[in-house]
Chain A
Amino acid sequence: MSQYEELTTTMTDQQYLVEALTEMGYKPEVQTEGTALRGYGGVSWNRPVQVTIPREQLRGALASVGFGRDEAGVFQAVIDDLDRKCSGFDESWLGRVAQTYKERQTMAVAKTKGYVFRGRDVVQTPQGPKVQLRFAVR
C-alpha cells in the first residue's frame, strides 16, 4: 500500500513555485489557506498543502502531489512513495522544480533591481544541466 512522504525543499515563495510548475507544463491549484491532500486508496496527508498538482496532470502517477508550508514557511513536497520510486516524481524531479523556481526568482530580482538581461544558456555538466543567466549593470 502506498503512502504519502514529505520531501524537503528550500522554496519559500508561492508565486515562484506556481510559476515554476506552470513552466514545467502543469496547472497547479492554489489554496492559500491550505487543503487536505488525498491520495491513492484513500490515503491522506496529515497537514494542509497550499499548492497541488492534480494526479491527472502527472503522467503515470497514482496520486496528486502537494506542496505545504512548514512552521518556518518553507514549502515541503508531499509525494506518494510509489510515485517517487516508480513514476519519476523523485528527488531529481523535485530538483528540476527547484531549478526552475530559482530561475524565476533570479529573473524577478534582476528586473526589480534594474539589471539588464543579456542571455540564457543551458550548460551540460557531469552533474546535470545548469542554467546560466547573464546580466549587465544598467
Chain B
Amino acid sequence: MQEQLITIEIDEQGNSSIDLEGFHGQGCGDVAKDFRGGDSVTQSSKKREYYAQATGVKQSQQNT
C-alpha cells in the first residue's frame, strides 16, 4: 500500500500550502482540515490522481 505523505510549505510571510500524496476518498479532506485549523483557503487544486483510485489535493492557505 502506498504511504500517505503530507508536505507543508511555509513561506516568509507565514502563508502555507499543503500537498497530499497517496490519499483515498475523504481522507484527503480530513487531513487538509487538520492542518488548516482556523486558516482560510485561498487556492485549492486537485491532482490528476484525485480522479483515479488514489487522491491528492494541493491547497494554499493564509496564516492565522
Say yes or no for A133: interface residue by CB 8 A criterion. yes
Among A98, A129, A133, contact of B8 (Cβ-Cβ < 8 Å): A133
Inter-chain contact A98/B16, CB cutoff 8 Å: no
Restricting to A77-102, which residues have a CB under 8 Å from any CB of B? 92, 95-99, 101-102
Q: How far is the CB of A138 from chain B (nearest CB, A)?
A: 10
How many A residues are at the interface, by size bracket?
20 to 34
What total of A-B pairs shows CB separation below 8 Å?
Answer: 84
**Residue in B4, B5, B35, B62 whose CB lies within 8 Å of A106:** B35
**Chain A residues near B (Cβ < 8 Å):** 9-12, 74, 92, 95-99, 101-103, 105-106, 109-110, 113, 115, 118, 123, 125, 127-137
